[in-house]
Amino acid sequence: MKKTAPSPLKHWLTPALTALVVFFILLGTIVIKKTSPTTGSPESTASATILPAENISLPSPEFRSSNSVEATLKNRRTRRDFQDKELSLKQVSQMLWSAQGVTVDWGGRTAPSAKSTYPLSIFLVASKVTGLEAGEYQYLPGDRTPVHQLKPIQSVELQQALYEALNESSFKKAPAVLVITGNMGKMAEAYGGIGHDKEVYLEAGHVAQSLYLQAESLRLGMVVISSFDELKIKDLVTIPSSDTIIYLIPFGIPKL
């Protein structure tokens, strides 16, 4: 009996169908990856890069102004609404100096500290500051001699993330935020291992008042925020694990 020759169609049909099925499986995988929602909060997906390691020298602080201490005390107000405008590096420099600037050759600063311990650190979150890339910085006042520099930490835009995390209107347009932290262990060490957290909180209060008066003198506005979820802020801002966040201070040009 004569065998029938296989059809040319059947010869290539099976491999063609197999290749087609594999193609659609791969295509479906790519589409799912592209359209799947990104997990995690906005802050966890924010792009952050390391800033150059070199410290940034700040403009020298001014020691005189046209405003008297009495005038700034009289006009001091909490201001929560800011114009959507940049701050100058000079303005930021003056604010940082007023918080922790070194003023004498033995290391004394603009705010008093129990046993000259100086357990506070000042961090700057810059969003709109002329001459600064948006990101996180630490203020370096110096020890016995003034340094008055910023130590870059990382380049990241946190304005919107802070506003969403805190649900606080003052963060919405603030071009800069100061983060004041305290090292409770450092203060305890100065007292022979006995905890003196109260002294750290009082010192932060001294700094806040200096900032309020300096802001008023510069015709800036600011508000101290002390009620927040610290863990949530530490997820956003690079803070040493040994430090307690005491104040968040958004500041900028106030709305009239």
Does the residue 3 lie in any domain? no
Query: Residue 60 is inside which H or E element, if any?
Result: none
Give the C-alpha separation, 87 to 131, whole Å.
10
- For 106-125, how does the pLDDT look when each residue is reduced to its tens digit (9 = 90+)? 999 999 999 999 999 999 99
Does the residue 46 lie in any domain? yes
- Per-residue confidence at 43, pLDDT binned at 50, 70, 90? very low
pLDDT at 103: 95
pLDDT at 18: 54
- For 200-253, how does the pLDDT look when each residue is reduced to its tens digit (9 = 90+)? 999 999 999 999 999 999 999 999 999 999 999 999 999 999 999 999 999 999
Residue type, position 12, single letter: W
Does the residue 150 lie in any domain? yes
CATH number for the domain spanning 104: value is 3.40.109.10
Say whether pLDDT at 32 is over 90.
Answer: no
Domain encompassing residue 89: 42-252
Does the residue 144 lie in any domain? yes
Q: What is the pTM (predicted TM-score) of this model?
A: 0.80
Least confident range of 18-22, 120-124, 127-131, 217-221: 18-22
Question: Nearest-CA neighbor of 108 among 144, 58, 147?
Answer: 144
**Average pLDDT score, the chain:** 86
- For 172-203, how does the pLDDT look when each residue is reduced to its tens digit (9 = 90+)? 999 999 999 999 999 999 999 999 999 999 99
Does the residue 200 lie in any domain? yes
pLDDT at 11: 52
Say whether pLDDT at 13 is over 90.
Answer: no
Query: Residue 202 is inside which H or E element, if any?
Result: helix 197-217
Residue type, position 93, single letter: S
Number of domains in the chain: 1
pLDDT at 19: 55
Does the residue 155 lie in any domain? yes
- For 81-93, how does the pLDDT look when each residue is reduced to its tens digit (9 = 90+)? 999 999 999 999 9
Does the residue 21 lie in any domain? no
Helix (H, G, I), strand (E, B) or coil at 239: coil
Q: With contact defined as beta carbons under 8 Å apart, do 38 and 140 qualify?
A: no
Does the residue 9 lie in any domain? no
pLDDT at 144: 86
∠113-114-117 over CA atoms, to 5°? 70
